[in-house]
Amino acid sequence: MRWLVGWSSTAAGAAAIGSAGATGLDGETVHPVGSQLLWGDPDPLWAVGDWRPDEVRVVKVDAETRIAVLGTCGASDEELRLSLFSARGGALRHLTAWSGSYTAVVKVGRRTMVCGDLAGAKPVFYTPWAGGTAYSTAALPLADLIEANLDFGHLAALLAAPDVPAALHDSTPYDGVRRIPPGHALILRAGAREIAGYEPVASLAVAAAPVDPDSAVDAVRDALVDAVRARLSAPRHVPDIDPGPVPGMGPAERRAARGMPVPGIGADLSGGPASGTLALLAAGLPGAPGTVLGHGTGAGERLLAVTFNDLAVRGRESEVERAGTLAANPRLHHVVVTGGEDVLPYAELDGPLTDEPGPSLITAARHRARLAAGSADHFTGYGARQVLDAHPARLADLLMDRKRRHLVRPVAALAKADGSVMVPGRVYGAARRLARTPYGAGLEVLADRLMNQRFDEPGGAVGASLAALTWARPGPAARWLTGEALAEVSVRLQGAPSRQGQGVGPGQRPGDFRARAALARHAGDLRVLEQAAEIRSQRLHMPFLDNQVVRACRTLPEALRVQPGARAAILRTVLEGAGVGDLPPGWGAPSHASAAAASRTGLRVAADSLMALFDTPLLAQAGLVEARVVRKALRAAAQGEPLPLDGLADLVSLELWLGRLLARRGTCWTGTPARARAVPAGIRPQRGALASGGGAGVA
């Protein structure tokens, strides 16, 4: 895990802070464990973790003006230096417009500016501390710093309404630690803080200017090519040298057994359009994308393409076959990783502590098995669906813009899937109601549903689309929460419109708003996955979540997005524009099979261990669930009853995360007493305390 941390002190407290750390409440000197100091003086900044040398750059104009960029950034040192002159005047957007995935921190005198990303994969957190403000790209270090307890209201909202920003607001699992929203920056001036958006906001009174679909797709292609090229142009990284032979093992087997990736650059090749696009782009661009010269097969020419073949659950044979056809490209070296019941979801309940909880904790072992065969720099297609596909609520946006004719094809596709002539009228009516419903009214409906525990929704593809045609909806795990927890989330929702900046601003149509919220949740879960499935010396690259790629995808016309098969068509055009053709038949066809089947099979195989996990669950101690209710649901799902499997994944992953957090004994800081860590007193049984705990979040 890698993060940066710093703070900004008031003028009165500046004398207590220097390059060695800060003086805490008990007079001890505080600084992060295993850190490298990027700058000291009154407002210090550290990089913590196993950063590569090329991933940390600090450029100075003078003693008062400097910028630190951490991650993969396509800007040159001269571009960073020039950016500081604009940043002096308060301009921030250009700091987020370079290719790559990174966090930028600018210091101008006593003013510090920290830029988050658009997707939410590179978040920024902050907390009041020692009379000023401490900030970090991870929440746990700040929770350690202030000895934060758990925020039970946030945990309840995470289960009851995970896709609703108004329910989560700016809270984190740690009481007192806050996050800035995607697309915003944290600005600190001598300890005082301000959160400012850096993206331009359109007017709702005037329809957006028409965008040519061809030029929008060309912009997506250019952004993706730049994102891939930024990774290819970075210095090649060779993991720790193989310490020697093991009888009966070849070099690849030794690396996998020791948790070491293959040197060089590789990519996922699942057979789907997103990973295939990145693999073909990386293999086709100039820059020798294959392995490092002299290390492994390929000799600097071929890119390592990894395909996961699930032997325990069938249904993706056609995708694996397409991956094999793509891998016939002479610039690719294909590796197929097979997995049985040992890598099903829920099969492995042990793992590292992540910064925050996320549903991907139950599948971390599954992903780790694939990534262990990957390269030191590994491309993945995560995020493509969220940035390219149309959220069903975008149908309401088309109605608001008087573009009814563009609803014909998506509604016809739903009618064909359902086989009912009533579908067009139902979908059109739901889209029309959403287009005419104010945001506050949508939150009131959700608050009422939670308070009265109404969670029934229609099934099938049409039912899912109809349920999504709302401003807000209950999460899949909400049906298993206690009445007290649901009431707490309901109160948070009722107080949401009164919060400054929480309401939907100008230019936020319901479909666009829902799509951004879904992207933020997905990006946050991918951040959890990256930490839970981490392979030593490996970097996962997710170009679809880069700022410039997200911006380019947001310019795609909604009329293009909502058409069936739009994502595959866009990526096919991207590849053709980059000179890549001859895609196999069926490329981009939707996969119907295996995610739900794998989850259900994993539940059945791991039923006994899950029952033991929820024998005396921490979630019950926190007052969020009743143990017998969850055990009954797990038993029913394992027997095949049609329960929402993603809701059970939310419950199990949160229980796992709480157990790992409370079993932890270390801290992120040195020079602190032993008590200086998050949740020092553990979980105390909650008896009517949820409402009082959530009151701080509502105020």
pLDDT in tens, 313-322: 887 888 889 9
Residue 369 structure tokens = 């098995």
Amino acid, res. 672: T
Q: pLDDT tens digit string along 386-395?
A: 999 989 999 9
Q: What is the pLDDT of residue 256?
A: 61
Q: Torsion-angle region of residue 289: left (phi > 0), alpha (psi -120 to 50) or beta?
A: alpha
Which secondary structure element, helix H or strand E, spans residue 336, and what is its range? strand 332-339
**Average pLDDT of span 365-394:** 93
**Average pLDDT of span 341-370:** 94
Does residue 152 surpass a pLDDT of 80? yes
Work out the burial of residue 628: count CB atoms within 10 Å of its CB; fewer than 13 is exposed, 13-18 middle, 19 or more buried. exposed
Which secondary structure element, helix H or strand E, spans residue 35, and what is its range? strand 35-39
**β-sheet bridge partners, residue 115:** 104, 185
What is the spatial distance between Cα 536 and Cα 496, in angstroms, rounded to a whole number?
Answer: 42
Does residue 296 surpass a pLDDT of 50? no
Proportion of the chain in helix, strand, coil states, percent, rounded to 5: 45, 15, 40
Q: What is the pLDDT of residue 287?
A: 53
Q: pLDDT tens digit string along 217-226?
A: 999 999 999 9
Does residue 72 surpass a pLDDT of 60? yes
Instruction: Check residues 421 and 138 and name the one with the higher pLDDT.
Output: 138
**Average pLDDT of span 641-653:** 94
Which residue, chain included where needed, has tokens 């040992």?
A: 342
What is the spatial distance between Cα 357 and Cα 693, in angstroms, rounded to a whole number?
Answer: 19
**Average pLDDT of span 240-259:** 62
Half-sphere exposure of 217 (CA within 13 A, CB side): 18
Encode burial over 269-291: b for 16+ CB neighbours within 10 A, e otherwise. Answer: bbbbbbbbbbbbbbbbbeebbbb
What is the spatial distance between Cα 273 and Cα 204, in angstroms, rounded to a whole number?
Answer: 34
What is the spatial distance between Cα 182 and Cα 276, in angstroms, rounded to a whole number?
Answer: 28
Q: pLDDT tens digit string along 391-448?
A: 999 999 999 988 888 888 888 888 887 777 778 888 899 999 999 999 989 999 999 9
**β-sheet bridge partners, residue 336:** 307
- Of the ranges 299-313, 396-410, 512-526, 581-595, the best mean pLDDT one: 512-526
Q: How many CB atoms lie within 10 A of CB 42?
A: 21
pTM of this structure: 0.92
Q: What is the pLDDT of residue 298?
A: 43
Q: pLDDT tens digit string along 167-176?
A: 999 999 999 9
Percent of the chain with pLDDT over 70: 86
What is the spatial distance between Cα 627 and Cα 526, in angstroms, rounded to a whole number?
Answer: 28
CB 567 within 8 A of CB 388: yes
